[in-house]
Amino acid sequence: MMKQPDDDKLRKANLRVAIILGAIALLAMAYSFVFLPKVLSGGLVP
């Protein structure tokens, strides 16, 4: 929750959340190249 609209701490917190979310997005991209092909070549399905 926000204390004051114009606040350096808030700005840093925003950047932190944005970077974490961006990292998740990059991981999801990697997932398409690495993980799914493995599943499909018979890894997961009995």
- Footprint on this chain of other proteins (rule: CB under 8 A): 1-6, 10, 13-15, 17-18, 21-22, 24-26, 28-33, 36-37, 40, 45-46
CB of 17 to other proteins, least distance (A): 4
Torsion angle, CA of 10/12/16/19, rounded to 10 degrees? 120
Residue 22 structure tokens: 């961006």
CB of 43 to other proteins, least distance (A): 12
Backbone angles phi, psi at 2, to 5 degrees: -90, 135
Residue 38 structure tokens: 């493995």
CB of 42 to other proteins, least distance (A): 9
